[in-house]
Amino acid sequence: MIVIIDDTSILVDFSKLKLLHTFFSLNFQFHTTDFIFGEIFDPEKTSLQFFVDKRKLLITEIEGNAYEIIKKLNKRKPSISEEDYSIFYLARHLKSTISKNTILLTSDKKLRRFSEKKSIEVHGHLWVFDQMVENNILCPKTASKKLYDLSAEINEKLHLPIEECESRKKKWAEMTNQNQNEIK
């Protein structure tokens, strides 16, 4: 089982892209923290609540000893928020208790670097698109359009690597052309 820990930007961006059903169709166990869920507002929160109610997105409350650990981490390195430390803490905890295959999804570079130094596997938006296309739950043509929408309209501050985006769009266009040729 692969356990996925989500940060705010991943959840909000895929909600704004109208891809939550696709996202939660991936064969992963999705988790986040109450800290992260508390950062999300309507209409995205309402959209996500559906998946919480269906137990597709599990929310862990951070309290007691876990909260003290997060506060200490934040005191040592305040450039990472307590919310982001909460998902790092959850990823580390679940990796040691539930599944070694725990992945933290984030677009935050500081959290990414910190987590990777602590041996937590980290991925972002592009990896999620790859998973949706590879698992045939999002067609390559739609993935290409949604990737454009993400970087041009939904989250312009995301600054996805241009070369990696172009590489994917090219690969997905080839897949689309191949699929069209097979249909003929």
Question: Taking phi first (over 0 means left), then psi (-120 to 50 degrees means alpha), and beta for anything else, what does residue 18 get?
Answer: left
The answer on 67 and 13 residing in a single domain is yes
pLDDT given for residue 181 in this prediction: 59
Residue 184 confidence (pLDDT) above 70: no
E strands, 24-139, are: 29-33, 57-60, 102-105, 121-123
The answer on 99 and 171 residing in a single domain is no
- Would the pTM of this model clear 0.85, i.e. be above it? yes
Q: What angle do CA 160, 132, 104 make, to 5 degrees?
A: 60
Neighbouring CB atoms inside 10 A of 50's CB total 13
Residue 171 confidence (pLDDT) above 70: yes
The answer on 163 and 109 residing in a single domain is no
Band of pLDDT at residue 67, cut at 50, 70 and 90 = very high
pLDDT given for residue 2 in this prediction: 85
The answer on 104 and 41 residing in a single domain is yes
How many domains does the chain fold into? 2
At 86-109, the pLDDT tens digits run 999 999 999 999 889 999 999 999
Average pLDDT over residues 145-164: 92
Q: What is the torsional sign of CA 134, 139, 140, 143?
A: negative
pLDDT given for residue 179 in this prediction: 65
The answer on 115 and 69 residing in a single domain is yes
Neighbouring CB atoms inside 10 A of 143's CB total 22
State the DSSP H helix or E strand holding residue 3, giving kind and residue range, or none if neither. Answer: strand 3-6
Q: Which of 13-17, 95-99, 130-134, 136-140 has the lowest mean pLDDT?
A: 95-99
152 is written with which tokens?
A: 């041009």
Residue 49 confidence (pLDDT) above 90: yes
The answer on 122 and 63 residing in a single domain is yes
The answer on 70 and 143 residing in a single domain is no
- b vs e for 15-29, b when ≥16 Cβ sit within 10 Å of the residue's Cβ? bbbebbebbbebebb
The answer on 40 and 113 residing in a single domain is yes
* Residue 113 belongs to domain spanning: 3-126
Q: What is the three-class DSSP state of 183?
A: helix
pLDDT given for residue 180 in this prediction: 63
